[in-house]
Amino acid sequence: MTTTIHGLVKPLLFASSLLLSTIAGGVAAQPAILEGERFHPQESSEGMVATSHFLASQVAHDVLAAGGNAVDAAVTAGFALAVTQPRSGNIGGGGFMLISDENSGEVIAIDYRETAPAAAFETMFQDEDGEAVSELSRYTHNASGVPGTVAGLALALEEYGTLTLAEALEPAIRLAENGFAVPPRFVAGIRDTRERLEKWESTRKVFFKEDGSLYEVGEIFRQPDLAATLKRIAEHGAREFYEGETAELIAAEMERHDGLMTLEDLAGYQPVIREPSHGTYRGYDIYAMSPPSSGGAHIVQMLNILEEYDIGAMGFNSAQTLHLMAEAMKRAYADRSEYLGDTDFVDVPLSGITSKEYAAELRAGIDPEMATPSDTIAPGNPLPYESSETTHFSIADDNGLAVSNTYTINFSYGSGIVVDGAGFLLNNEMDDFSAKPGVPNAYGLIGGEANKVEPGKRMLSSMTPTIVKRDGKNFLITGSPGGSRIITTTLQVLMNVIDHGMNIQSAVSVPRVHHQWLPDELRIEEGISPDTIALLEAMGHTVSQQEAMGAAQSIMIGDGMYYGGADPRRSTSSAMGL
């Protein structure tokens, strides 16, 4: 199969876990990942894209094929996902992007996480008795932080891309205007969330037919209001979202429903360029998102703890390996509950958390034969101090530029509230703050004072876009959706490649585990041996088999080749090489 862009013809190498690839205005057959191909990566010598939706992979591929760089492709994919995957792709949310440039040696992090409105206050999600009320932080207009996606993607393009914003938006505008045939996952998502989405007239107008019925697989889904919003941004620039007609539509939506977000909040939003968290593991350089993401710090922390064990010799998903991983996970998540927050507002002991010395202290408390009960683990003392339904995609070009991006509106379909007239969903990221210190959020994560609600503050996140380098060269690009499981999913992709020598498709396909300190249970996916489970239980672990975790769209680079891994846990995932 070939694709032609601006006169260029390049082979289209494609791996997808969906049988149908949808082109704007129609449906075309594409190869699916067969069972025997589940562990075979996509290969290319000229670059690779891996996203959670085949249409986003297609437009990103087209950008690279036409001579654009990895950032151009990433921004184009990000806007396309806002159209084709509205349950998690977004312009009404926020996220994080890591960019690695081999030529300059620079790795930078773009923080476009949402911020709390100026009128937000610490107890806004508590009742008169001081108890946290989850409904308030999840399904109301005040559940939304000030969105950062448009500003963040525009900043990445302006600083590191070659396309104009209008050029990067063109495929998304086309998909929103002409429509696309909805796949099974889209239909199932609307059906499963129907009660929440039907509550709001503005949402009903977008996601349901005029008679209130559901779209069926293969039917064309068009979003004219969203297309108009994207056209305004293309014509007037990113600030249109924050100061133009779109901002006015958001503010009006808030005012109609007693929301706190104002035009001033929108006009004041700015993304931030930060230094990523950094550590080393068995000779590899690990770069991941820094706070307000907790992911990078704790990825490095867990790898530091595990580095002194011969994980490779213990074997993939053996009882001994899983036991040590669970013990490292518990200790990292205990520290997360106490120390992590927005470093613009609180002191985070980042250098302590990521230090080899602190890892050695924590490792000394691990019994290699028995599980440590979580109620005996308290946050450590990582001195010194220094002044969440999600979508991930990874992209690499053949000029040394790599992008790892994770963004979200939090829950599937966020708050469930569409901005009337603008066509996009509002996030419910305010739930990622600690509504009350010590009370778990929707993902069971405990938060403390460091992550309390404050005006203008960015809420703590688990999103962990990650880039691994070897000898100064980009080696592995990964990240995942999955709420509290994002961090451990990303950890296991890294370990599967570095410790167990897996190819990237195998590394993202094999069964995963997760422990987050509280509740004190080792969550596993289907596929872990019953004998292994019995050994873990004999060690004192409470093992709970649950649904699949994460969707780690990933790329590995080596010997002049690019290898793409499309996570089969998300049916629309795809990897494409040039």
pLDDT per position as a tens digit, 270-283: 999 999 999 999 99
Q: Which residues contact 339 (CB under 8 A, 6 or more apart)?
A: 348, 349, 353, 379, 382, 448, 450
Burial of 340 from C-beta contacts in 10 A (0-12 / 13-18 / 19+): buried
- The answer to whether residue 30 scores a pLDDT higher than 70 is no
- Closest-CA residue to 364 (of 295, 308, 294, 427): 308
Query: Do the beta carbons of residue 421 and residue 136 sit within 8 Å?
Result: no
Question: What is the rounded distance in angstroms from the CA atom of residue 321 to the CA atom of residue 435?
Answer: 36
Question: What is the rounded distance in angstroms from the CA atom of residue 231 to the CA atom of residue 235?
Answer: 6
- The answer to whether residue 69 scores a pLDDT higher than 60 is yes
Mean pLDDT of 47-60: 97
Alpha helix ranges (H) inside 96-223? 134-138, 149-160, 165-178, 184-192, 194-197, 201-207
Q: Which residues contact 468 (CB under 8 A, 6 or more apart)?
A: 284, 285, 286, 287, 474, 475, 476, 477, 478, 494, 498
How many Cβ atoms sit within 10 Å of the Cβ of residue 78?
30
Q: What is the DSSP letter of 519?
A: S
Question: What is the rounded distance in angstroms from the CA atom of residue 77 to the CA atom of residue 96?
Answer: 14
What is the average pLDDT score of the chain?
A: 91
What pLDDT, on a 0 to 100 scale, did the predictor assign at position 383? 59
Helix (H, G, I), strand (E, B) or coil at 566: coil
How many Cβ atoms sit within 10 Å of the Cβ of residue 165?
21
| Higher-pLDDT residue of 5, 135 | 135
Query: Do the beta carbons of residue 149 and residue 93 sit within 8 Å?
Result: yes
| N-to-C CA span, the chain | 11
Mean pLDDT of 57-68: 98
Ramachandran bin of 456, using left for φ above 0, alpha for ψ from -120 to 50, beta for the remaining angles: left
Query: Do the beta carbons of residue 149 and residue 196 sit within 8 Å?
Result: no
What pLDDT, on a 0 to 100 scale, did the predictor assign at position 173? 98
How many Cβ atoms sit within 10 Å of the Cβ of residue 113?
32
- The answer to whether residue 14 scores a pLDDT higher than 70 is no
| CA distance readout (Å), 156 to 76, 268, 301, 347 | 11, 19, 28, 27
Task: Give the H or E element holding residue 523.
Answer: strand 522-524
What pLDDT, on a 0 to 100 scale, did the predictor assign at position 437? 76
Burial of 211 from C-beta contacts in 10 A (0-12 / 13-18 / 19+): exposed
- The answer to whether residue 8 scores a pLDDT higher than 80 is no
Query: Do the beta carbons of residue 385 and residue 349 sit within 8 Å?
Result: yes
DSSP assignment of 462-494 equals: ----EEEEETTEEEEEE----GGGHHHHHHHHH
Task: Give the H or E element holding residue 533.
Answer: helix 530-538
Sign of dihedral through CA atoms 100, 404, 77, 155?
negative
The set of catalytic residues is 390
Question: Tokens representing 428?
Answer: 């419910």
- The answer to whether residue 159 scores a pLDDT higher than 90 is yes
| Higher-pLDDT residue of 525, 38 | 525
- Closest-CA residue to 223 (of 363, 346, 91): 91
- The answer to whether residue 442 scores a pLDDT higher than 80 is no
pTM: 0.92
Question: Dihedral, CA atoms, 9, 11, 14, 20, nearest 10 degrees?
Answer: 50
- Using pLDDT thresholds of 50, 70 and 90, give the confidence band for residue 384: low
Question: Tokens representing 180?
Answer: 């696309």
What pLDDT, on a 0 to 100 scale, did the predictor assign at position 289? 98
What pLDDT, on a 0 to 100 scale, did the predictor assign at position 378? 86
Q: Which of 129-143, 439-453, 479-493 has the lowest mean pLDDT?
A: 439-453
- Using pLDDT thresholds of 50, 70 and 90, give the confidence band for residue 37: low
- Closest-CA residue to 565 (of 63, 16, 184): 16
Question: Tokens representing 499?
Answer: 């410790």
User: Where along the chain do its domains lie?
Assistant: 41-272+393-433, 274-390+461-558
- The answer to whether residue 7 scores a pLDDT higher than 60 is no
Query: Do the beta carbons of residue 567 and residue 548 sit within 8 Å?
Result: no
Helix (H, G, I), strand (E, B) or coil at 563: strand
Taking every pair of Cα atoms in the chain, the longest distance, rounded to a whole number of angstroms, is: 67
Q: Which residues contact 300 (CB under 8 A, 6 or more apart)?
A: 277, 278, 279, 286, 288, 353, 354
Ramachandran bin of 416, using left for φ above 0, alpha for ψ from -120 to 50, beta for the remaining angles: left
Q: Which residues contact 541 (CB under 8 A, 6 or more apart)?
A: 323, 326, 371, 521, 522
What pLDDT, on a 0 to 100 scale, did the predictor assign at position 417? 98
Mean pLDDT of 470-478: 98
Question: What is the rounded distance in angstroms from the CA atom of residue 337 to the CA atom of residue 340?
Answer: 7
Task: Give the H or E element holding residue 435.
Answer: none
**49 pairs with which residues across the strands?**
395, 576
Helix (H, G, I), strand (E, B) or coil at 218: coil
Give the class (CATH, top level) of 274-390+461-558: mainly alpha
- Using pLDDT thresholds of 50, 70 and 90, give the confidence band for residue 441: confident
Mean pLDDT of 304-310: 98
In single-letter form, the type of residue at position 85 comes to: Q
- The answer to whether residue 357 scores a pLDDT higher than 80 is yes
Question: What is the rounded distance in angstroms from the CA atom of residue 125 to the CA atom of residue 350?
Answer: 29
Phi, psi dihedral angles at 112 (to 5 degrees): -120, 40
**408 pairs with which residues across the strands?**
94, 390
